[in-house]
Amino acid sequence: MSGHQCTENPPHLDPNSGSGHVEKLGNLDTYVSGSTHSKLGVLLVSHVFGYETPNLRKLADKVAEAGFYAVVPDFFHGDPYNPENKDRPLLIWAKDHGQEKGFEDSKPIVEALKNKGITSIGAAGFCWGAKVAVELAKQKLVDATVLLHPSRVTVDDIKEVNIPIAVLGAEIDQVSPPELVRQFEDILASKPEVKSFVKIFPRVKHGWTVRYNENDPSEVEAAEEAHKDMLAWLIDYVK
């Protein structure tokens, strides 16, 4: 998350975006989408720009349309990274919003989903959120996970995962470069008992799945391909 790629193409946040609504879940304001009667939940953990990112909410709606109860919590408590605040660059902001705290905040979310009658939960983490998602996987607090252009996820993290995991990386990524993602792939390949899927998308940059330019057909196509892969993984292993 230390690289500038984490902050490129900042989204225009919109608290009214998406077809779902915001409610309290596990003490966090949370965007929710999907049927409350679903027994299958998906926790989407955002990048540093937070849960009001329109493309992220649109993706949550897509997950909901597949039959899941999709939730996007505000892990930053109303304080997402703001690139216009020059007095608080990313590394300073991150001191108040560590991924370790994000993981701790995610535990009540998981419990709240279970209290709603949800019996199987998947996690998808984007950049900052991928570290939270991999911690959930390591502790087996979810049934499957997807890491999308992860930040600060290490080889040791991947070694500790023993649930179905997919990693979607970018060819142009200084945060988790292809060489690191291939290391993840090698580790997972050495554990055939763990279902895994690793893919490096050509010609795209870190953050492409939620910070794409809607007016660029090639960017939209690459993002939608990743969304399709993510959703297929969740459908296969959250059931």
Separation of alpha carbons 73 and 22, rounded Å: 9
Nearest residue to 146 via CA among 214, 35, 90, 68: 68
Strand locations in the chain, DSSP E?
A: 21-25, 28-33, 40-45, 69-73, 120-126, 144-148, 165-172, 196-205
Mention every residue, 6+ apart, whose C-beta is less than 8 A from residue 56: 44, 46, 47, 72, 126, 210
The CA R_g of the chain, rounded to the nearest whole Å, is: 16
Structure confidence by residue, pLDDT tens digits, 6-62:
888 899 999 999 999 999 999 999 999 999 999 999 999 999 999 999 999 999 999
Beta strands 69-73 and 28-33: pairing type?
antiparallel
The structure's pTM equals 0.96
- pLDDT of the residue at 2: 46
The residue-averaged pLDDT of 159-182 equals: 97
Confidence of residue 118 (pLDDT cuts 50, 70, 90): very high
The reported pLDDT for the residue numbered 132 is: 98
By the 8 A CB rule, do 57 and 17 touch?
Answer: yes
- Strands, sheet with 28-33, edge to edge from the N-terminal-most edge strand: 21-25, 28-33, 69-73, 40-45, 120-126, 144-148, 165-172, 196-205
To the nearest whole number, what is the mean pLDDT of the chain?
A: 96
Task: Tell me what the mean pLDDT of segment 64-82 comes to.
Answer: 98
Section 141-153 average pLDDT? 98
Q: What is the pLDDT of residues 172-206, one digit of tens each?
A: 999 999 999 999 999 999 999 999 999 999 999 99
What is the rounded CA–CA span in Å between residue 178 and residue 199?
9
Q: Which residues have CB under 8 Å from 186's CB, separation 6+?
A: none
The CA distance from 106 to 39, in Å, is: 19
Segment 104-112 mean pLDDT:
98
> What's the mean pLDDT in 78-107?
96
pLDDT of 236 > 80? The answer is yes
